[in-house]
Structure 1
Amino acid sequence: MSGSDVNDKYVRFINVKKSYDQKNLVVKNFNLDIRKGEFVTLLGPSGSGKTTCLMMLAGFEDVTSGAIEINGKSVQDVAPYHRNIGMVFQHYALFPHMTIAENLAYPLKVRKLPTSEVNQKVKDALALVELDAFGKRYPGQLSGGQKQRVALARSLIFEPSIVLMDEPLGALDKNLREHMQYEIKRLHEQLGFTAIYVTHDQTEALTMSDRIAVFNDGVVQQCSHPSALYETPANSFVADFIGENNHIHGTVEDCNEQTATISLSRGDKVSALNINCPPKGEPCILAVRPENLFIAGPGREFDNVISAEFITRLYVGDSIRYFFKMSDGAQLMVKMLNDQDAPVIDPGSQARLTWATDRGLALDKPADKDSVAAA
């Protein structure tokens, strides 16, 4: 394998399966190549297998079958502390009886580095996470955000080639989470390590990742760039899990490689992009993002128009969410900017909703749990 191939396949999961009871698989045929220096997020609901994949790479869990490689070499028989992997956990895992400086020094002392080098690396690590004056404090004297920065610094202090992060921001409030997202991305860009990040927070994944692997029931449904996952999800599960989506049930009237015509329950015929559309005559799902669905009005009417009953609206600051109900009971949401054009509608009144064909997606029914779509 050439140098460029190794860099493109720096971390490899090859047909990896994991079972704890030798009967049920929690990870099923997991295949993923990660480039050197890439930031990849494993995203999915609780119990979908993403943390198990992280633990197998770290060496804390055995692989039932398949292989994991780092830099072109199998790590099957390599002890965790010889894999050169840093780890950041949700609950910090700092030693409470040690000062911050001692916590940072610990992985270096385990590696038997000279004291002068340990002291310099600790000083540099504190500066890296902007905690220069906190070396003599104890974890109990720090805020949650400060503790997580120390945990991050400790995972980086021995200059690992790979850093694994398992829900590292789960214990922080919204503002701290957003600040730490910026900090992690800054350090990743500055130091160039390969990052594999586990979360169930879709916004976090979209904000931080070069690529996202979306898990469901031990299977990767799709692995791609954030924009591709959002704009062209591979199936109904990904469309529903990544961002907000309106799901309208219908039947395929006709389809070609580009578009599909869908018949709705009341007889309306609408069109959408053919992303993963079933054959003619089969039930399907039409997905339209709330920001791509509009209340029709002068100068704002697209290819598709349907009627729906207005229920209520929610004020959320910079935007307003309008909720509607179709004749078959399905609910739809329209998201609009909170400006002078935001309409006022009486509950119970009928409204016309509209969207462009290239803003709607014709998809399969909810994804079969054993399907795999990786790109």
Structure 2
Amino acid sequence: MTDIGSDTFLRFDDVKKSYDQKKLVVKGFNMDVRKGEFITLLGPSGSGKTTVLMMLAGFESVTSGDIAIKGKSINKTAPNKRNIGMVFQNYALFPHMTVAENLAYPLSVRNMPKAEIKERVAEYLALVELSDFGNRRPGQLSGGQKQRVALARAMIFQPELILMDEPLGALDKNLREQMQFEITRLHKQIGFTVVYVTHDQTEALSMSDRIAVFNDGVVQQCAPPAELYERPVNAFVADFIGENNFVPGTVSEIQGDIAQVTTDAGTISAYAAAGLRSGADCKVSIRPEKLFIPPTSHAHDNALTVKFNTRIYVGDFIRYYFKLPDGADIIVKVLNDLSAPEFEDGAEAQLLSMTKDCIAFPAS
């Protein structure tokens, strides 16, 4: 288990989940979450991330292990007794109620005095910048406005923990980006703890304090966004987080934590991932923006010989597709400026990189 000290607010201790008592969909999940932290559970569909969230919310039972908040197990606590706010992808607003009535509902069921409810509703409408929308019904709101109301309703009874299950999945790109900013702003302003589920890696990287990457019921790596992106611990994380090239080769030697890898396109010096052995087949991870095309002022200590295939204009950058000697594609992202080079079809080129930007993983 990760030990983050005495400020642990939420703890998962060897949590497992099986629906048929045969196959585990969550295989021993351990995590400590600090109070006020923004944790994202990220992974492909069926990887176990939503199941973890549902067990934390109390909508699914824990097969074995323990979930504790402030040191007290909540395994047998009813969902409505956990004091947890929840935000869903489909908003889950009451269509027959106004926005103000939707916000008032969690306060009225807690028997708060009417005067306090009115004051709190006005406060949270202002917080999500919807002060003029209290008398509207959900059907009269845009998707982004509905999600703001859902956020306000989850926060209004002031829970210490808020769970978000793909909350932006139904929004278009511009609204998603706007709501990412809104959620981050509210989190920083109020300081509640967030456990957020998504399959969108950009969303996770831009919003989270730490990200737990799931695959087949197992957390592959849990780390801050920059660490996940720059130093993935295995090939799955490297491939799932961001875009990546994988160059096949053989490890000729390992000195300290640096491997020399022989490939058909040239020798690559790279960080050696856990489990890498001299003489073994491997694949070297190099992100497209970490490859440079001469002439360049970028420092480099690796060079690969490739052949140009095509380039695609994307707007703010250009994607270059080259071919490795084995016929596999290798992609380079170059800023769209005057230095972006031109190539004839099939022209030979050199791709340069730094050792610090290359990671050699075992081939398997």
TM range (shorter): over 0.9
Whole-angstrom distance in 2 between the partners of 1:198 and 1:7: 25
The one-letter code of the counterpart of 1:160 is P
Query: Does the C-alpha gap of structure 1 residues 18 and 298 become closer, same or farther in structure 2, counting only changes over 3 Å?
Result: closer
Map of 1:207 onto structure 2: 206
Secondary structure at the residue paired with 1:295?
coil
Contact 1:58/1:85 (<8 A) preserved? yes
Whole-angstrom distance in 2 between the partners of 1:238 and 1:253: 25
- Give how far 1:358 is off: 1.4
Query: Does the C-alpha gap of structure 1 residues 300 and 10 become closer, same or farther in structure 2, counting only changes over 3 Å?
Result: closer
- Give how far 1:304 is off: 1.4
Contact 1:258/1:273 (<8 A) preserved? yes
**Which digits, 9 at most, give the CA deviation of each residue in 1:283-312, with x for residues without a partner?**
111001111111132655722111111111
**Which digits, 9 at most, give the CA deviation of each residue in 1:233-271, with x for residues without a partner?**
0000001111111111111111133200111146x3221
Map of 1:358 onto structure 2: 356
Identity %: 61
**Which digits, 9 at most, give the CA deviation of each residue in 1:86-142, with x for residues without a partner?**
000001001111111111111111111111111111111111100001011000000
Whole-angstrom distance in 2 between the partners of 1:85 and 1:32: 18
Map of 2:315 onto structure 1: 317
Map of 2:276 onto structure 1: 278
Whole-angstrom distance in 2 between the partners of 1:301 and 1:11: 44
Confirm or deny that 1:187 pairs with 2:170: no
Map of 2:47 onto structure 1: 48
Whole-angstrom distance in 2 between the partners of 1:208 and 1:300: 30
Map of 1:369 onto structure 2: none
Query: Does the C-alpha gap of structure 1 residues 363 and 63 become closer, same or farther in structure 2, counting only changes over 3 Å?
Result: same
Contact 1:41/1:197 (<8 A) preserved? yes
Secondary structure at the residue paired with 2:12?
strand
Q: When the two structures are aligned, how many residues end up with a matched partner?
A: 362
Map of 2:85 onto structure 1: 86
Contact 1:270/1:304 (<8 A) preserved? yes
Map of 1:133 onto structure 2: 132
Map of 2:234 onto structure 1: 235
Confirm or deny that 1:308 pairs with 2:306: yes
Confirm or deny that 1:168 pairs with 2:167: yes
Contact 1:164/1:197 (<8 A) preserved? yes
Whole-angstrom distance in 1 between the partners of 2:271 and 2:4: 35
**Which digits, 9 at most, give the CA deviation of each residue in 1:6-25, with x for residues without a partner?**
75321011000001111111
Secondary structure at the residue paired with 2:111?
coil
List, as ranges, runs of 4+ consecutive aligned residues in structure 1 with deviation greater than 6 Å: none
Map of 1:370 onto structure 2: none
The one-letter code of the counterpart of 1:178 is E
Map of 1:344 onto structure 2: 342
Contact 1:256/1:274 (<8 A) preserved? no
The one-letter code of the counterpart of 1:100 is V
Contact 1:6/1:72 (<8 A) preserved? no
Contact 1:312/1:323 (<8 A) preserved? yes
Unmatched 5+ stretches in structure 2: none
Greater mean alpha carbon deviation, residues 193-202 or residues 114-123: 114-123
The one-letter code of the counterpart of 1:359 is D
C-alpha RMSD over aligned residues: 1.5
Contact 1:40/1:209 (<8 A) preserved? yes
- Give how far 1:275 is off: 2.8
Unmatched 5+ stretches in structure 1: 367-375
Give the alignment partner of residue 294 of structure 2, picking from 288, 291, 296: 296
**Which digits, 9 at most, give the CA deviation of each residue in 1:133-177, with x for residues without a partner?**
101100000000000000000000000000000000011111111
Whole-angstrom distance in 1 between the partners of 2:296 and 2:126: 57
Whole-angstrom distance in 1 between the partners of 2:122 and 2:139: 20
TM-score (structure 2 length as normaliser): 0.97
Query: Does the C-alpha gap of structure 1 residues 298 and 223 become closer, same or farther in structure 2, counting only changes over 3 Å?
Result: closer
Whole-angstrom distance in 2 between the partners of 1:151 and 1:299: 50
Whole-angstrom distance in 1 between the partners of 2:296 and 2:142: 53
